[in-house]
Amino acid sequence: LLLFLLSILTPSSATMFAATGRRKKEKHKRYIMWLSDVHADPYYGTDMQSCSLEYLNETRQNQVGMIGCDPPYTLLEATVHAAAKVAAELGATQCIFSGDYVRHEQQHLIDPESQVPEIINNVTGILSQTFSKLNLGIL
């Protein structure tokens, strides 16, 4: 799961007087939260997880994910809550989510045709439920 915080300088309609007495446009920072590459695996910690079964004991013990495996929803939830806290503190105005919702090896899901849209819906729900409390638009 990748998380970025973008800081953008934007021109503002507010003006200030420079030492010369001329009006000068003031620039303000705007923050945009950017998340990507969730790769949520609903089977994390089971014998159907996307990573090697040799890690099964470790994934069962590490409920929020581990390096080398597509993560469970619990990691996404924890990350989104932490990101929302930072976004609120900085006054971020938007959240961009640039995809990769679903785990790797989708063909090994029990029913990929129904489960892929379900995973996308679950990820979108976690994002919108958390960020909507901040009145943050999700793109």
Which two tokens mark 71?
Answer: 């993560």
Nearest to 102 by CA among 80, 117, 86: 117
> What does the pLDDT read at residue 15?
40
Q: Are the C-beta atoms of residues 51 and 69 closer than 8 Å to each other?
A: yes
Q: What is the pLDDT of residues 18-75, one digit of tens each?
A: 445 555 555 567 788 888 899 999 999 999 999 998 999 999 999 899 998 999 999 9
Element holding 9 (H helix, E strand): strand 2-17
pLDDT at 4 over 70: no
- How far apart CA 76 and CA 84 sit, in angstroms, is 12
> What does the pLDDT read at residue 16?
40
